[in-house]
Amino acid sequence: MHINITPQKIGENFETYNSSVTDYVNYLEKENEGKHPELQEHFFDQNNNQISPETVISEIDGNTKKLKKRDPKFYSIVVSPSAKELKHINNDPALLRKYTRELMKDYAASFYRDRIVTVDDIKYYAKIEHERTYRGFEKKVKANEPYRKRIAKLKNDLAKINRGELKGSARKTQREIDRLIAEAPYKVEGKILTEGMKKEGMQTHIHIIVSRKDVTNSYSLSPDTQHKENTTILNGKEVKQGFNKTKFFDAAEKRFDQTFQFDRNFIDRYSSKNLFRKDPVKFFAIVAQLPTNERELAIKTLHKIGIPTSKKSAFYTMLHKAGLNVPSIPTNKVQLAIKAFNKLKKGLDRAIQSGSIGV
């Protein structure tokens, strides 16, 4: 399960800053283009299954009382269940709507305020999407980029050769194109993977637009804070502020598991990733006590992401203290593995801070 919380995008200057949610709503409508009305996905909220884009824009844009020009007017929450989770619920949109409504109860409960915040205080609109496309910054796209550029040039040369504008062998040029396509590291159905191509498998996810202000347009509810629980002085009075992201992310997983009777492995839990980041020794001690199948899965996953288990690594000592013995990796790969772990740890830190359950 991945959950990302991001504020409304703000331009570099006041002239380029568009305070409306219109562009985002139009972006979320892209999958409905050309589809029969019965096959389209509609915006929904806590009580309604079919809300028009116009209503979403009007309600979000109109709920911004006393917010400054540079303040985000809304937040985006993107909920991306894993392939295992989607398979468990048969990729059913109705069940995802049910989950979203329960999830938003946990979102509301994660605010630290002078009064109890409930889902009835939250103004939000959600929409299910079934497709994702590869983006330019992704590893697979970047790895293919040198091949794509070379192939594009060769195809241009081939066209010129066929028109008599360039000397050369069309057959050799085509063979070189075919060779580069075959050697490109990532392909989809035989075609070189490039930016904009649809991702394979189940890619269903949920976009949630949440107003910065409560439903009465009276007070701010911002999840974009580093404070879980903070008390400040406002107009001479103590005011409680904060949003507990850890509580929210943990509740999100538990809510899914309880709602759909999903058996989540220890290694896949948000709390486990958090423990691994903060206290690796305790993490491995727990892994050592897991049932055999789950323990083997955990070890396999750790090896896959490059956790060092050489006898010369600090982590081997941790494993030994935890009573967990695993095959060591070659000594000449220890430093590489340590670098991989450090990179993973930084990724975990960023993910947890930015609002991502999974890594």
Cβ within 8 Å of residue 50, ≥6 positions away: 42, 43, 44
63 and 144 assigned to the same domain: no
Which CATH number fits the domain that encloses residue 61?
3.30.930
Whether 61 and 104 map to the same domain: the answer is yes
Helix and strand tally (H, E) in the chain?
12, 8
- Same domain? For 39 and 90 the reply is yes
My answer on whether 228 and 188 are in the same domain is no
Buried b (16+ CB within 10 A) or exposed e, 125-137: bbbbbeeeebeee
Does one domain contain both 37 and 117? Answer: yes
Give residue 170's domain range: 139-192
Q: CA of 183: how far to CAs of 142, 151, 169, in Å?
A: 15, 11, 21
Q: What is the average pLDDT across 274-279?
A: 82
Tokens of 276: 């691994």
Last residue of a domain, one of 236, 260, 284: 260
Encode pLDDT of 18-36 as tens digits.
578 999 999 999 999 988 8
Q: Provide the whole-model pTM.
A: 0.79
Q: How many domains does the chain have?
A: 3
Q: Quick: pLDDT tens for 220-237.
A: 999 988 778 888 777 778
Calculate ∠ Cα 68-19-30, nearest 5°: 155
| pLDDT given for residue 285 in this prediction | 79
DSSP state of 7: E
Alpha-carbon Rg for the chain, nearest whole angstrom, is: 25
Within a domain: residue 178? Answer: yes
Q: Which residue has the tokens 């509810």?
A: 221
User: Both 50 and 66 in a single domain?
Assistant: yes
What are the tens digits of pLDDT across the range 286-331? 887 888 888 888 777 776 666 654 444 555 555 555 555 544 434 4
Nearest to 47 by CA among 7, 104, 87, 4: 104
Q: Which two tokens stand for residue 311?
A: 């006898």
Nearest to 238 by CA among 120, 107, 112: 112
| Percentage of the residues of the chain whose pLDDT score is greater than 90 | 58
